[in-house]
């Protein structure tokens, strides 16, 4: 195996918009937990998670995590301007 074949960790900007394209559902819970923590540390209280439209696996994983996270006040699918059902908007406590 070449060194180039190893996947490097991806730097994710903490700006309130988390794009999950390219991530597997098994990676999302831990990633989302760390992202929400980082948002709170930066004072970001509202944001958007882009999970794509697809068959809904990432969306369901994201919604299950948000539903059970005490840091999350509310969440809802995006409106037409913010990704429609391919994104979820959230508000943190």
Domain CATH for 81: 3.30.1370.110
Residue range 5-59, pLDDT digits in tens: 456 677 899 999 999 999 999 999 999 999 999 999 999 999 999 999 999 999 9
Phi-psi region of 89 (alpha: psi -120 to 50; beta: other; left: phi over 0): beta
Per-residue confidence (pLDDT) for residue 62, from 0 to 100? 98
| Confidence class for position 1, pLDDT limits 50, 70, 90 | very low
Could you list the residue range(s) of the whole structural domain that residue 57 is in? 14-92
Per-residue confidence (pLDDT) for residue 80, from 0 to 100? 86
Look at residue 43 and tell me if it is in a domain: yes
Neighbours of 5 (CB within 10 A): 6
Neighbours of 18 (CB within 10 A): 25
What are the DSSP E strand ranges found in the chain? 17-19, 46-50, 72-77, 87-92
Domains held by the chain: number: 1
Q: Contact at 8 Å (CB) between 44 and 16?
A: yes
The DSSP symbol for 9 reads P
Per-residue confidence (pLDDT) for residue 8, from 0 to 100? 65
Look at residue 74 and tell me if it is in a domain: yes
| Sheet with 87-92, side-by-side order of all strands | 17-19, 46-50, 87-92, 72-77
Predicted structure pTM score = 0.86
């Amino acid at each position: 195996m070449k060194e180039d074949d190893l996947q490097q960790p991806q730097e994710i900007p903490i700006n309130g918009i988390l794009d999950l394209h390219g991530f597997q559902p098994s990676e999302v819970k831990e990633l989302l937990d760390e992202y929400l923590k980082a948002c709170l540390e930066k004072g970001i209280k509202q944001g958007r998670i882009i999970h794509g439209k697809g068959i809904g696996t990432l969306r369901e994983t994201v919604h299950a995590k948000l539903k059970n996270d005490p840091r999350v006040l509310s969440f809802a699918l995006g409106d037409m301007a913010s990704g429609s059902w391919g994104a979820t908007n959230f508000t943190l406590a």
